[in-house]
Amino acid sequence: MTTPLSLEDAMRMTEAALAESHRRNVKTAISVVDARGDMIMTCKIDGARSYYPDVAYGKAIGAALWGDASRNLSARSGNNSVQQRVNSLNGGRIVFAPGAVPLLRDGEVVGAIGVGGSGGESDEEIAVIAAKRLDD
């Protein structure tokens, strides 16, 4: 059985995302969710906009549920009735925009990390850097 995502895993990846955000001088929010899209932790850098945590969380939910980068989900969300229905079932919280990546252990999705606040490209780059710390 694959080891589920832990709070310690989420903290380690969040610290990496925060460090990279500070290095880039961007004010972001970071969210880590488990494989069901349930929040493990979410935080925002001082001065980040109030809605960034919700955006990061929404990106992470989608990446976890579909096991795909939010960039790929955003490319097909406009005309995908299944995605729209799943979003509706999740209270409209899923955000179909670049900035989140799934987290894999032994080829199985154990969660996702999402970043919001620095633009899609940069958010995704920060999420990828942080995801590399999953099993450190």
Closest CA to 20 of 104, 118, 120: 118
Separation between Cα atoms, residue 1 and residue 19, nearest integer Å: 32
* Statement: the pTM of the whole predicted model exceeds 0.75: yes
Residue 1 lies in a domain: no
What pLDDT is attached to residue 78? 65
pLDDT along the chain (136 residues), means of 10: 94 98 98 97 98 98 96 82 90 95 96 97 98 95
Q: Give the CATH number of the domain where residue 57 resides.
A: 3.30.450.150
Give how many domains the chain has, as a whole number: 1
Residue 99 lies in a domain: yes
Residue 33 lies in a domain: yes
Phi and psi based region of residue 117 (left: phi greater than 0; alpha: psi -120 to 50; beta: remaining): left
What pLDDT is attached to residue 76? 80
Residue 51 lies in a domain: yes
